[in-house]
Amino acid sequence: MDLSGKTALVTGSVQGIGFEIARAFAGAGAAIAVHGLADAVQAEAACAELIAAGAPEAKFFGHDLSDPAAASALVGAALEWRAIDILVNNAGIQHTAPIAEMPLETFQKILSINLTAAFATMQVALPKMAERGYGRVINIASVHGLVASLHKAPYVASKFGLVGMSRVAALEYATAGSRESGGVTVNCICPGWTETAILEPQISARAALHDGDRAAAITDLLSEKQPTRRISDAGEVGALALWLCSPIAHNLTGTAIPVDGGWTAQ
């Protein structure tokens, strides 16, 4: 897979799934627009690691995606640096609570970051991709964009919305480009339980029920939902995202691909 000469903007890419996606792209030769809420040391370390992985350049952008105007400005700032060939909307937050106890401001903030920001970045990036005949938008949804779970109303709402919005965008840009140029595609990846920071509060809560045993907590968590009982590594999501950028994937658009150990097959 060769992404030489291409640039990827990956939101929430200083850690977790976002960083592993950026690392996969860097290994294929893409320049990386790194994004996140990180201090200067964290940002510099992430960029340095991506350059070491093979990126010709990596530049950090620190826009706060809870503000839709900042999400649009993020793409604008990245475009001033380089043309954006690949956009990955990965940044996301979660808060668990029953609907009756979920603060409205928390609900709105989750939707702003997980859904509205993705709309704002796509709105700026997709027309430019269409002009060049090649573009990839990969929205990191979740298994919770396909099925629901207790106490996750805003997260589930945002991820179901992200899957639906991605399908609309896929239809709107279906005729952009050609097989030869690679076309413009919009897809979602829907991870199940994956070893990331966003899962830590749930692991910690389960560990408290197992005398602090983290391994037992993970096993308990997986047995509840994920038939393989294997937790995914963030790098596996990165490998799938990289494949979606291939020209051979020109006709794969409007999908929501689960990486969930059979969770949504039940």
| Domain range annotation of the chain | 7-192+233-257, 193-231
Cα separation of 180 and 49, whole Å? Answer: 33
Considering the domain 7-192+233-257 in this protein, what is its CATH number?
3.40.50.720
Q: In what order do the strands lie in the sheet with 134-140?
A: 58-61, 31-35, 7-10, 86-89, 134-140, 183-191, 256-259
Q: Comparing C-alpha atoms, which of 95, 154, 149, 116 is closest to residue 11?
A: 116
Percent pLDDT > 70 in the chain is 100
Indicate if the pLDDT at residue 31 is higher than 80: yes
**Model confidence over 210-223: pLDDT tens digits?**
999 988 988 888 89
Q: What is the pLDDT of residue 203?
A: 86
| Cβ-proximal residues to 80 (8 Å cutoff; 6+ apart), any chain | none
Structure tokens at 102: 């979920």
Q: Comparing C-alpha atoms, which of 122, 135, 127, 56 is closest to residue 89?
A: 122
Helix (H, G, I), strand (E, B) or coil at 109: helix
Calculate mean pLDDT across residues 241-245.
Answer: 98
* Radius of gyration for the alpha carbons in the chain, expressed in angstroms and rounded: 18
Indicate if the pLDDT at residue 143 is higher than 90: yes
Q: Is 138 left (phi over 0), alpha (psi -120 to 50) or beta?
A: beta
pTM of the model: 0.95
| Cβ-proximal residues to 245 (8 Å cutoff; 6+ apart), any chain | 1, 3, 6, 8, 25, 28, 86, 136, 138
Yes or no: say if 229 and 219 are a contact pair by the CB < 8 Å rule: yes
Active site annotation includes 134: no
Identified catalytic residue from 155, 173, 193, 263:
155
Q: What is the pLDDT of residue 166?
A: 99
Q: Comparing C-alpha atoms, which of 124, 161, 154, 157 is closest to residue 139?
A: 161
The number of residues making up the chain comes to 266
